Structure 1
Amino acid sequence: MPYFKYNDKSCYFEEQGEGIPVLFLHGNTASSNMFYDVIETYTKDYKVILIDFLGHGKSDRVEKLNTDLWYDEALQVIAFLEQTKYKKVHLIGSSGGALVAINVALERPDLVDKVIADSFEGEIPIKEFTQNVIADRTVSKQDEGAKEFYFSMHGSDWESIVDNDTMAIYEHAKSIGKFFHKPLSTLHSEILLTGSKEDEFVSLINPDYFSTVYTNLIEKIGHGEMHIFPKGGHPALLSNRDEFVMIAKKFLHR
């Protein structure tokens, strides 16, 4: 299995298909396995690249995740692109992976062409989520469906990975409280923001959460597009798979 190096640790990646590279970035508590049911629809037109962030999936484990998690994961992506000598890749990030994709585009615009950022909070964490994340994750670890998901992403040591992620989210909200190091106005890549109106993580806070937050983000960036799916859960990339593929390909082809 192929790996790249980050801070003397080995991070897993794989490639499928031919053409312009499209790098998929997974969300929190997930791994590249979350994309296996959708990537076949992209490999006909693109070289699909999957990676597992450090401490996830098939990558090396760590005792503790970096508190500035989504920025550190962006540095991992940058390390991968530098080591493989890829230039101007498309990034598709879902949930936490969307935060990573935007960070990569902000930090290294020379490495990024277009960005699709799916089902993410915005610029800052959602208080309703971070305040309850420890209790909510404790409950999720007893839920059979959640346990099956965690195991499918990571294997038998899934619980320590979930715990690491939980503490990173909690500590980030307390000590950092913002996702990006550079102003959004410095983001030059074309960007498409997507989400589902019924997303269970935001719909109870505000049924128009994504429309409101994404509109504000696009104003700050100075350009961009958004597509909000009327149905479907979290993330939209999976819950609206077929329509998402059509919209994504149209955006990337343009």
Structure 2
Amino acid sequence: MYIDVKGIYYNVRVVGEGEPLIFLHGFTGSIENWDVILPYLKGHYQLIFIDLIGHGGSDSPSEIIRYQFLNIRDDVITILDQLKIQDASLIGYSMGGRLALSLIVEYPKRFSKLVLESSSPGIEKLVEREERKKADEKLAKFIEQDGLRKFVDYWENISLFESQRRIEDNKRKFLHVQRLKNNVVGLSNSLRGMGTGVQPSYWNQLHEVKIPVLLLCGELDQKFCMIAEKMATLLTNAEIKKINRAGHAIHMEQPENFGKIVSVFLSR
């Protein structure tokens, strides 16, 4: 279905019945990325998948202000309001995890559990945020100047996704085709509006999060495992699980294991 939020149409898919469970994908992703975990969670929850602005089937407006992190956070709340969902659990991957954490901090009464996969609360130091902002702007210009196909080829070969080269050929092809379904305007503006350099840092607000939090990281993704370990010391009610032989995208690399771990956590 398409949900109108202030003139922008968001592509939303709702599957099943039960306790609402919201899924927020990563940069260059879409709701299609979650298809692999459906067999392990379907039938127990009402699964709500949202294509974030600039991605998948959602609109990709030219106005960068529509992509600003806090605006998208409030757009998600509007979507939940229209679906008449007042209490839900959240699963956020990478960029979607940063957005999920922002939702928890700003709207704590709307959510009961949080799963963060390969994510962070942002960048703590201002000088490092400025450097990241410059890097994201450079990447946005690369997308605009060289086109989507060249960018996707580059993106799939960065060190963050090295472990994905080990997954089955059909999964790699699926991810490649899915990324190419995005567009230049949506991805470049997402970097400018939702990049880690421009989002607020939530490190100092982690102690405010009282709901149960599951932090997932792949053992091959050392950077995000270090971030998860630090987050676990600051969150009030958190547990961390490192997934053996997995990298940044655990749900794609080990969907069955991901589904089982998340199911156990949510059922407590």
**Is TM > 0.5 for Structure 1 vs Structure 2?**
yes
For residues 18-167 of structure 1, the aligned pairs below 5 Å read 18-66=17-65, 69-124=68-123, 132-133=135-136, 134-135=138-139, 141=151, 143=153, 146=156, 149=175, 151-153=177-179, 155=181, 158-167=183-192
- Indicate the residue corresponding to 1:204 in structure 2: none
Structure 2 vs 1, CA of residues 132 and 150 (structure 1 numbering), >3 Å: closer, same or farther? farther
* 1:183 partner SS: helix
- Structure 1 position 10, deviation (Å): 1.5
Q: Judge conservation of contact 2:31–2:49 (CA < 8 Å) in 1.
A: yes
- 2: CA distance, partners of 1:41 / 1:60: 30
Quote how far apart the aligned CAs of 1:39 are.
1.8
Per the TM alignment, residue 21 of structure 1 is displaced from its structure 2 partner at its CA by 1.1
The alpha carbon displacement at 1:109 in A equals 1.6
Conserved 8 A contact 1:22-1:46: yes
Given the superposition, is the C-alpha separation of residues 4 and 132 from structure 1 closer, same or farther in structure 2, using an over 3 Å criterion?
Answer: same
Tell me by how many angstroms 1:192 deviates.
Answer: 0.5
Alignment of 1:215-234 (within 5 A): 215-234=229-248
Q: Say if 1:150 and 1:158, in contact at 8 Å, map to a contact too.
A: no
Cα deviations by residue, 1:187-222 (Å, 9 ceiling, x for unpaired): 1221111111213xxxxxxx3x33432232222222
| Structure 2 gap ranges (5+) | 157-172
What's the counterpart of residue 14 of structure 1? 13
Normalization by structure 1: what TM-score?
0.81
For the residues of structure 2 that align with 1:56 and 1:142, how far apart are their CA atoms?
A: 14
Identity %: 22
Pairwise CA RMSD = 3.0
User: Which amino acid counterpart does residue 264 of structure 2 have in structure 1?
Assistant: K
Provide the C-alpha distance between the structure 2 equivalents of 1:230 and 1:63, rounded to a whole number of angstroms. 41
**Which of 178, 185, 195 is equivalent to 2:200?**
178
Question: Which whole-Å CA distance do the structure 2 matches of 1:216 and 1:40 have between them?
Answer: 32
Equivalent position of 2:220 in the other structure: 198
CA distance in 2, matches of 1:130, 1:148: 30
Partners of 1:4 and 1:181 in 2: CA distance:
32
SS of equivalent residue, structure 2 residue 21: strand
Whole-Å separation in 1 of the counterparts to 2:99 and 2:180: 20
SS at match of 2:192: helix
Q: 1:187 aligned to 2:217?
A: no
Alignment deviations for residues 97-153 of structure 1 (CA, whole Å, 9 cap, x no partner):
111111111111221110101011343177786664435965851628959746524
What SS does the corresponding residue of 2:233 show, helix, strand or coil?
Answer: helix
Q: Decide which structure has greater helix share.
A: 2
Question: Alignment length, in residue pairs?
Answer: 241
- Note the alpha carbon deviations across 1:168-201, whole angstroms, 9 max, x for none: 356x62xx463439722221221111111213xx
Say which SS state the counterpart of residue 91 (structure 1) adopts.
strand
Shift in CA distance, 56/154, structure 1 to aligned 2, threshold 3 Å: farther
By relative contact order (CA 8 Å, sep 6+), the higher-ranking structure is 2
Tell me which amino acid in the other structure corresponds to 2:247: G
Q: Could you tell which deviates more after superposition, 213-222 or 47-56? A: 213-222
- Quote the Cα distance in structure 1 between the aligned partners of 2:95 and 2:28: 9
